[in-house]
Chains A and B, each alone.
Chain A
Amino acid sequence: MRQAGVAAAFALLDPPLVVSTSHPWRVIAPDPVPGHTDCVNPRDRLRAVGRRVTDPAEALAQEAAERVIDLVVNALDVNELAARVDLNALLSRVDLDVLLKKVDVDALLDQVDLNALLARVDLKPLLDRVDVNDIVQQIDMDALVEKTDLAAVIASSTGGMTTEALDAVRSGAVGLDRFVDRWVRRVIRPKQPWPAAPPALLTAQAES
Chain B
Amino acid sequence: MSARPPQAALVSLQGHYAGSVSRLAAYSIDLVVSTAVFVLGLAAISWGVRIVTGHDVSWNRSNIVVAVIFVIWQFVYFGYCWAVSGRTPGMALLGIRVVRADGRVLPPKQGVLRSLVFPLSFLLFGLGFLGILVQHEHRALHDLIAGSAVVYSWDARAARLRFLARQAELPEADIPSPVGVRTDTSS
Contacts and interface: CB of A to CB of B under 8 A. Distances in A.
Interface residues of B, number: 52
Contacts of A168: 1, 3-4
Interface in B1-49: 1, 3-6, 8, 10, 12-22, 25
A152 B102 CA distance: 40
A159 B168 CA distance: 13
Contact of A171 (B3, B19, B20, B185): B3
Interface stretch (B52-60, B72-80, B147-155): B147-155
A128 interface: no
B159 A170 contact: yes
Interface in A142-163: 142, 145-146, 150-155, 158-159, 161, 163
Interface of A: 141-142, 145-146, 150-155, 158-159, 161, 163-178, 180-181, 184, 188, 190, 192, 194-202, 204-205
A146 B5 CA distance: 14
Contact of B20 (A145, A146, A180, A199): A180
A177 B6 contact: no
From A142, A194, A201, residue with most partner B Cβ within 10 Å: A201
A168 B163 CA distance: 9
Interface stretch (B62-70, B81-89, B120-128, B132-140): B132-140
B156 A174 contact: yes
Interface stretch (B92-100, B107-115, B171-179): B92-100
Contacts of B166: 155, 159, 164
B133 to A, nearest CB: 5
Given A155-B165, A200-B104, 12 more contacts: A142-B164, A145-B164, A146-B167, A167-B3, A170-B94, A171-B3, A181-B19, A190-B136, A198-B17, A198-B149, A201-B16, A204-B103
B162 interface: yes
A151 B165 contact: yes
Ranked nearest first, the 7 interchain pairs of A and B with the lowest CB-CB distance are: A177-B19, A198-B103, A200-B103, A168-B3, A151-B168, A201-B15, A201-B103
B180 to A, nearest CB: 12
Nearest to A175: B4
A179 B158 CA distance: 23
A87 B124 CA distance: 87
A151 B164 contact: yes
Contacts of B169: 151-152, 155
A186 to B, nearest CB: 12
B69 to A, nearest CB: 32
Contact of A169 (B10, B19, B94, B100): B94
A197 B149 CA distance: 10
Nearest to B26: A173
14 contacts: A142-B164, A151-B168, A153-B165, A154-B162, A170-B159, A171-B6, A173-B25, A180-B20, A181-B19, A196-B16, A198-B17, A198-B103, A201-B103, A201-B151
A116 to B, nearest CB: 43
Contacts of A165: 1
A176 B17 contact: no
B101 interface: yes
Contacts of A169: 93-94
Contacts of B104: 198, 200
